[in-house]
Chain A
Amino acid sequence: MREIDVGKISDAVRNLAIEVNIHLSEGFVERLQKALAQEKSELGRELLQRVIDNARAAREKMLPACQDTGTAVVFAEIGQDVHLTGGNLIGAINDGVARGWRDGLLRASIVGDPITRMNTGDNTPAVVHTFIVPGEKLRISFMAKGSGCENMSRLKMLKPSDGEEGILKFIEETVVEAGGRPCPPVTLGVGIGGDFEQCALLAKKALFRDPIGAPHPLKHIAQLEEKILERVNATGIGPLGMGGTVTALAVHVETAPVHISSLPVAVNIDCHAHRHGSLSL
């Protein structure tokens, strides 16, 4: 049994919130540079260059790369031999979000009620998913999830007979319907299998994969990721939807066992400001 003070979790969330919003990771900026080299449209290249320049400007000015500093999404993997002390976990995470948003001058973008829509003022509450895992470590993964791209995400309960082609078609349709609105080039988190809510959660989990573009360990899933990427990049949507050959930077698929009658597919879209980070305690 290992004791961890929740204050450490709060600090981790605060620091990650500021870090990911202001500093797009080096690995991600390298992926954008690669996209710049791959893009065939002249306007598309110019837009990608602007995106890369913006990442540098954000660092220099200590400003968020995008004004939509997102919903705070936290995945907490908690070892079952960990004993949390000093307060409650969810409270600590939200305290970290509030401090991160205040200290980092991030934008308060959460309303407390979807109908009456009053801003909570500090971007709380976070969307928190907890997972109990073996061991005595605790891992916090944080994502600043922009809403322009979240709004374009979709889930569909396909039929098993729809098969791989059905999956490809649904994802392509989702990306085409989204067009320039989710700020392409996007990263696609795809969940396949599970039930309705597990499928959506798999899609979100897929967006956390690091480094971006790393293939799935299962060969047939890695091949599917390549096929989806090729299909999406043939849509012509291009950078910011203004045409070109790079619509997505990467496709990450996560799968789960599924009922004999079902084939759920979820597509969680992230924008070209792909902001996440993690830390182990």
Chain B
Amino acid sequence: MTVRTTHLTTPLKDADLKNLKIGDKVLLSGEIYAARDAAHKRLVKLFREGAALPFDPKGAVIYYTGPTPAREGQIIGSCGPTTSSRMDAYMDDILSAGVKATIGKGGRSAEVREIQRKYGAVYFSAVGGTGAILSENVTKVELVAWEDLGTEALRRLTVKDFPVIVANDLAGNDIFLEARTRWARKI
């Protein structure tokens, strides 16, 4: 299996996503939004109240991460992905607001895969537990909202060739389910 590498720049457009297949590598550049459990709770509350979100969700990419504090002279600390399934409950709202991709680690529910298909969104996996090396692909960090949440605040990260793998594509395929079909052995 040849691994294809695609370069994408945010905000994402429908055309950017239509040829992506699970297992493809993507190098993302542009702005992405760091948000995890607590920020999602607040984002979805705002969205349901019909209030403006603190960033433009159209074509946006959300990265599930809570970085460590930056060392002096560094842009960001360790910043790998957290487990995505904890954000499954927020996906219908997040994607209906216009977000086109999320980045995290681990599989998502069948329901989320269906929601992603409905809204034409994909799910990327970054390599869990590699936050030190991933910090090399972050060129700028800005606080967008909710400083009181500490590591869970909403932040805008500017990234250059941030490496991810397509984990759910537009056809509803799932790299984690396929993995077991391909590699499970009877003993």
Contact = CB atoms under 8 A, between A and B. Distances in A.
B185 to A, nearest CB: 4
B52 interface: no
B80 to A, nearest CB: 5
Contacts of A100: none
A273 B129 CA distance: 7
Nearest to B184: A236
15 contacts: A57-B136, A58-B133, A61-B71, A62-B71, A65-B78, A67-B65, A69-B78, A105-B68, A107-B66, A146-B129, A148-B83, A181-B105, A183-B105, A241-B176, A242-B176
**Interface class of chain A by DSSP:** loop
Interface of A: 41-43, 47, 50-51, 53-55, 57-58, 61-69, 105-109, 117, 119, 121, 146, 148, 151, 176, 179-183, 230-231, 234-238, 240-245, 271-273
A121 B70 CA distance: 16
Contact of A179 (B65, B176, B181, B185): B176
Contacts of A61: 71, 74, 132, 135
A249 B148 CA distance: 38
A93 B176 CA distance: 40
Given A67-B79, A180-B106, 16 more contacts: A54-B132, A57-B133, A63-B78, A65-B132, A66-B130, A107-B67, A146-B129, A181-B83, A183-B105, A234-B187, A238-B183, A240-B125, A242-B175, A243-B175, A271-B128, A272-B129
A105 B77 contact: yes
Interface string B45-63: 0000000000000000000
Report, as a range, how many residues of chain B touch the other chain: 35 or more
A53 B128 contact: no
A180 B38 CA distance: 22
B23 A64 contact: no
A240 B183 CA distance: 13
B132 to A, nearest CB: 4
Contacts of B79: 67
A244 B23 CA distance: 13
B90 to A, nearest CB: 16
A67 B67 contact: yes
B29 interface: no
B82 A68 contact: yes
B4 interface: no
A92 B151 CA distance: 25
Nearest to A176: B180
